Every structure is written in structure tokens, then in C-alpha cells.
Structure 1
């Protein structure tokens, strides 16, 4: 939930006890650092750059008529006063105020906050540490990272803060959170980095988790390192009550800084777009593909777009993009987003066991992605003959009738899944009736014997598993199933 939103249901964390008989690890030599004697000097230095954000919006009148109150009820006078003469007062539009936080990032008045702080606002006002208030205008927003940039006009230069490198923050490092919690005005709380790389719901999420107190109203406020640099934007909390329980999330500065630069320059984001469907390379997938390590991003589909034009194919594993090593889907998504649009970038891939480098000219996600065709809706496959059972799956080849029943393109090929053994590995990995197997061992399968041959080849080669390319409602993914 956001730090200014209603709380969601709490998560229940269970502590699991370890069994006895564990060997004791040798003592580690570490350098312990004492807590700062005081944060006062740092707080005094950075406070002038932090602002309270007040938004005002007009809320439509509630409908439903006047509440029914029995004559003589003790609430009768109250509702008369509340509703106004003739019970009409509540039908008029009302003005609503909301509070949040932000921070100044340039002397000429650019201010960063959360999008959910200012969303739907008619008027935005910022209050500075010294009490000065200025009207702000909205420069731009990014829904994917929940970041907004505001601008105020000031006759004198404003105190501001710089972004630090969030990648250098380590679990256990001290941090300060500043903002306007619960509308109480400027407030400082201290804590440490509790975890890194947290994801909540977005493709570009890279949150720092902290136990510094963050409450409603802290949204959009800065998280500082001990050098007075912003390493995060306080965005959300995990709480059963709506108040801080020491689990707060700040969007990392390395994500925010790039977004802010684009919003200042263009008023919108301009992210690179590759145009592929991808999945992580898990250990079983790596084994099935004879890869040396479970790393990279495995391409499952290449629709029309930059990737297809540049020669990328389903089954390729992206190892490096524009000079940056790719560990998983998340790192590729962020790297592509931050890469230059309309320029060719080098992409290192593993294809059929050999590395090669392709040059890909990126599109723009905000425009090109919207033009990409959506996958067609799929249906469950009916039982059909002839069929065969392989790897816990009952399969039938695609013929005219099966293709029609599944709503597939007439040119579709492969094997349709009609039943999945409930206790099989395939069931554990989410294979379901209606799925279509189009490749096995990175070779097309059109007949039942094709899959049986690929399984036999994998066994003969001493491999433990085989890689299947499966399509569901047009959306492809690779699944590795054991053959031994």
C-alpha cells in the first residue's frame, strides 16, 4: 500500500526453526561501526530542501439522498445542522485536501514527490522548512515508478539536495527519512537499510526497504544517506494498521534520478523498447539448454518490433545488453528502459550453445508497445484421438478441429495438452489443458513422435531435463521437465 493509502491486509510471516546438529561456522572478522553520536548536524543541513506538499481537489457530491432519522432521535438535530437547510447542504461539491512530502532537486525550483500524492489535484502548494509557501505546477508524472516532478517559481535560489548512488547502499547502512507524517509537519526519523531490491508491483520496481519510521504523509519524501544525498523516495509501507511497523519502501535513487531527468526535459518518460517476451533462466532451464550458468533472459517470443528486425529469435538467451551484464528478466527490463531510443546497441546472446553479438535499434516503449498486437484468447483443448501420454501430459496433434476449438491461427502447429497428471512435475510447473507445445529441445514438434524422439535424444545425451516451448492464449514460455 502507499504511505498515504488505506492499509491492505497484513502479511503473516512465520519463523521456521532449524533442526539440531548444524556445524558451527568459523567466526567472521568484521569491522563494527558505532551509531552516530547525533543526526542533528545532518538534519540541520538537509531540512531546508524538504517540503510539505498540500493538494486541493473538488470532490463530487455524494448521492443517495438525506439519511433517514426517526423523529425525536438524538441525531435529528445533528443531521439538520450537517445537511443544512432543507437537507440540501450535502449535495454540493466539496473541496478535499491531502498531504504529502517532497524535496527540491535544483536551485530553480524543481521538486520531486510521489505521483499518488498529487494525482487528481486541482491546486498544489508546497511549504518550506522556514514556513514559506509557494504554488506549484505539475511538470510531469510517471505511473510506473509513482514519481512526479513539480516546479515552483522563487525570487531567490532554493536550497536543494542531490541524488546519491543507491547501488552503493548496503543492508545495515544508516539512513534518515524526512517528511510530513500524518500532517504533523516536518519530522525526521532514523533507521537502517533492511533489504535491497524489493519489488512490489511494477516492472521497474527497485525499492530499498528501511525500518526508519514512514507513515501516511511521508509519501514523496526523501531517504538520505549519511552524506546528505537522496538514495530513495519514500513510497509505501507494509502495515496491518496503517501506521509504521518498521517495514517501509523507498524507490531507489538510481531509478528515480533517470525518471526525473526525463520528466524535467520532456514532461514524460521515454523508455527504450526491445519488443520481446522473456523469462528467467532457472537452473533446470539452464541444464536443459546446456548453459554453464543460470543467468540471463530467455526469449520466449519475438513479435514484430526492434528485436525481430535486429535478428533476435525465440530461444536466444540475452547475456549482455548495451555493455551491461544481464542476470535476469528484471535487469534486462531496466537496462533496456534506460538505453538510448533510436540508436543501435550491442546485444550479446547465446544461441544454440554459441555466443554472438547483434546490433539492435530500440524503439520507444510508451508509443511502440501500445501498437503491439495482444495475444489471442485461448480455450481448453477437447479430448481427441490419436493421443499419447508423455512427461505426465496427455497430448494430441493440432488438426483443423483442435485449432478451431482452441481459437488458434490456422497456421498453428504443435501438440495440444488435453490432460495433466495432477501429481506430475508438469502440473507443479503450471502446465494446463489447452496449452500448446510448439518446441521440444529447441526443435519444432508437429507430431506425437517428434516429442517422443526429442525426449529419447535428451536421455541418450545424458541430460536430466528437456526444454519445452509452450503457448497459452498466445503467450509463450519455456518449461523444463525431467526426462530421467
Structure 2
């Protein structure tokens, strides 16, 4: 049998299979595709609609009429509606909002978003079977936008459990259930698009999904195929206000700890290390002789657990309680999940070597900033100088008051920056105060130059400087520019 005959036989077989599949009933065809009906039946009764109401300022207890701005009718309607209130001012009215949630225990604990119930004086829970119950607010955490509610029921309630979000992969199927746009119980499906998304919070760890999430889905569950909740639907990215396939659910890896604390204490109790930190860039790593650009660079250590444990400005935190630290977000999240009062090992990189310190954590919610006394500064009347494209002068008492830098001793104020310099490219600004160069304090321009000369002699390509801008410290790495000597062109003899 030649190749042409074999190919013809294969094509005939494929055609026959296609005809046979097309002849199957629609029900048989759909059986070949993944379905979610069984999953909906498994978990649907634990998903709830949430309606909140609150008293807000308004006019006449109802919606305001719509009249064109600047219209002759505008003043008439305003005067008329103001007269409806007994005191002549706006009369209050009740406003309603909708959201979603899910039951996590048979005795009636319910998880939702904080923004769903924020400011509400009445929270009503509607179950899939039409039963409605009034909910009590147990606690909220605005930092993760999570709230915990409680309802009383004569019968045990259907509930769902949390899964471990980090055990999943991009591309895994997920299902959203909730109350989109007030339409009632609704289901949408999609896949995990990404992990570790951050929107605006310090503790953000969002799962991105293309499953449809709309207004009203907030607070509802993101399920895996086992029926476990791996996220709490929170936000969407959309120019229209409707789903375009970019939705975000707070990871269960964050939510579980928050819910446990709200359930036990009615509030969160996060660990507090007591440092200001920033990410380590490749340039900073080179200036520090740090092998990899990772960890969290300490920029300030106010009075607190870190200072008592021996952490100092300039340390790079490489691991915390045995967990490697990739960046500042990871450190903030790990510390926040740690137990208040726990003593942990912190591995830092300092002066070219690693050192292990023991720090007893405080509580973030009750941490208070210690006032730092005013310090005397350099005498007035000093002149400015330019180095590396930066024109700077010592910090004087007058400039200290002007720049609200009463707690800074020494330092150099940036007066001007060459727009073509590395300093401008790295983001230095006029008014920044340079307090350290190569992790040593500077008070004069001569100090600055001496640090550069020492770094140049050691073969470093960049130096690390510590600045303060509006009271916030930050490290930056600057390239050491080599001056080229101009020569005369001499003809060859």
C-alpha cells in the first residue's frame, strides 16, 4: 500500500468520525465537555446575597430630581426640597447596597468584603432557598477588605471550606458565585490568570481571573474544582464598570488568617517588626557587594522591636523566621501573619557578612510612633558644592525648619541637579536630604567626596546613599562617574 492510499484511508476515517459525532444528540455532545453543574449543587447553598442599608444625607427622603445645571428650575427645586426638612436642611434617607458572601461554618459565620458592609446599620442575608436573616458584624479588616458576619439559625447551615491558593497554578479552572448587578444567584467560570497581584494595600495578594466578576460579586467566593474557596472576589479592572475579563480575588492564603483573628478577637492582631524598608535594586546590590538583588533594605529603625533586637539602618533582611525574603511585599506579609509576642530569627546582610538576630514582635495595630527630639544642626552661611551632578550644601537650622527635618542631625541638602546626570535619572530631587553615603553619615560636602574617593579606590562602580524626602528615608545607588582628561591632538613625527 503506497503513501497516497494510506493518507486517503486516514482522511476517510476522520470524516466518518466527524459525521458520527455530529449525529450524536446534543446531550451526548455536551457530556464530552467539562461541566460545573455538580459543583454548583455542591456549594451553591453556602453562597449568600447581602443587602445593606444605611442612613445618608439627602433631600425629602427620596431621590433628587434631575434638572439641568444652571437652569432657572434649579433654584426653585432646591428651595422647595429644603423646605421639606423640619430644620430647613437636608433630610436623611435610607440607602441600600448589594454584595455577596459565603458561609464558613454551620453555626452561621459569613465572610464578605469590608466595603460591602462598611457604614451599614442593617445587614440582611438572603440564602439560595429564599430564607432571609439579619446579620451581626463580628469584625472587619480594611487592610485586606475582609469582614466577618454572623447569623443565628435554628438549623445547621450549609457551609464551604477554604483551600490553599498557593497549591494552584495559572490556567487552573475556577468558578465565581454571587449576586452580580443585583440579579440574584449567578455563576461564571474561567481560569486563574495570575497570582500575586497587588492593587493598593500592603497585604495585597490577589488572584487574577478571567471569570466574570461584576458589581455585586464583591465578597463572594472564588472556588476551585474541589469546591474549596481559594479567593474572595474583591475588584475588577474595567474602563466601563463591567467585566472585561480582569477580576481580582483576595487569596485564601491571606484571608484564612484574617478570618481566624476576626473570629477569635473581633479584630486583627498582626505582628510588627518596626522598620521602614525598600526593595533592593541591582545597583544597590552591586554597591553593597550583595550577590543577588533580593531582600528588604532597612531605611529607618524607630524605637520598637527591631531596634531592641539590634537591626540597624542599612541592614538587608534576607530571611525572617526561616523564610527567605524576596522583596518588601513578602516581608510585610510574613511579618503581618506572625504571632504578636513571638521571638523570631532575622537574617540580615551587614558590612559584607550575614548576621542572625533575634527579635520579639510587637503588635502593629497598637504601635505608636515615638517622638524624636529636635537636634542642633550645622551653622548657617555654608556654601554649596557640586559632585556627581548634585549641587548640595550642609543642612542648616533655617533649612531644617523649612524642610520639616527637625529630627535630622547633619546631612546635605540637594540644591540643584544636572538633568543629564545619573542622580537625575535615579530620581533624586531638589530638597532631598542626603544623610548617609556608603552607609556612613555625612555632614559636609568633604565627607561626601571622601566616601566617593574611598569607593573609587576600592573599585566600586556605584555608591549607596540614604536620603530623606518629606520625612521618609530611602536608599539609592549612584554610579561613580569617571572624569576624562581632554588631550591635545599631536601629529606623529
1:167 and 1:401, CA in 2 relative to 1: closer, same or farther beyond 3 A? same
Distance 2:32 2:442 in 1: 63
Alpha-carbon offset, residue 122 of structure 1 = 1.3
1:327 aligned residue:
326
**Aligned counterpart for 2:51 among listed residues 24, 49, 54:** 54
Instruction: Indicate the structure whose relative CO is greater, using CA pairs within 8 Å and at least 6 residues apart.
Output: 1
- 1:213 Cα shift? 0.5
CA 1:244 to 1:360, structure 2 compared with 1: closer, same or farther past 3 Å? same
**Larger mean Cα displacement after TM superposition, 124-133 or 423-432:** 423-432
- What's 2:336 paired with? 337
Residue aligning to 1:273: 272
Counterpart residue number, 1:230: 229
Deviations 1:3-62 (A, max 9, x none): xxxxxxxxxxxxxxxxxxxxxxxxxxxxxxx99521111111110110011112222233
Is the 2:60–2:85 contact (alpha carbons within 8 Å) kept by the matching residues of 1?
no
Q: 1:42 to 1:420 in 2, by over 3 A?
A: same
Query: What is the RMSD of the two structures over their aligned residues, measured on CA atoms?
Result: 3.0
Tell whether 2:450 aligns with 1:453: yes
Please say if 1:42 is aligned against 2:39.
yes
State yes or no: 1:120 paired with 2:127. no
SS at match of 2:166: helix
Which entry has the higher C-alpha Rg, 1 or 2? 2
- C-alpha distance in 2, partners of 1:213/1:35? 24
Partner Cα distance (2:57, 2:473) in 1: 45
Alignment partner, residue 214 of structure 1:
213
Number of the residue aligned with 2:309: 310
Per-residue Cα deviation, 1:320-360 (whole angstroms, up to 9, x for no partner) = 11111111000010111111111211111111111111111
**What is the CA–CA distance in structure 1 between the aligned matches of 2:394 and 2:67, rounded to whole Å?**
69
Correspondences of 1:234-253 after superposition (within 5 Å) = 234-253=233-252
Deviations 1:148-194 (A, max 9, x none): 00001111211111111111222111100000001111000001111
- Report how far residue 447 of structure 1 moved: 2.2
5+ residue gaps in structure 2?
Answer: 1-30, 482-493
Distance 1:69 1:341 in 2: 56
Check 1:192–1:410 CA distance in 2 against 1; reply closer, same or farther (3 A cut). Answer: closer
Are 1:437 and 2:434 an aligned pair? yes
Q: Deviations over 1:369-401 (max 9, x none)?
A: x4444999xxxx9x9643221121001123445
Q: Contact 2:434–2:468 (CA<8 Å) still a contact in 1?
A: yes
Q: Which residue of 2 aligns with 1:23?
A: none
Measure, in 1, the Cα distance between the counterparts of 2:265 and 2:449. Answer: 55
**Partner residue, 1:422:** 419
State how far apart, in whole Å, the 2-side matches of 1:192 and 1:339 are: 31
Which residue is equivalent to 2:470? Answer: 473
| TM-score normalised over the length of structure 1 | 0.84
- How many positions carry a matched residue from both structures? 437
The corresponding residue for 1:161 is 160
1:282 aligns with 2:284: no
Query: Does structure 2 conserve the Cα–Cα contact (< 8 Å) formed by 1:66 and 1:87?
Result: no
1:460: Cα distance to partner? 2.3
SS of the counterpart of 2:135?
strand
Unaligned 5+ runs, structure 1: 1-33
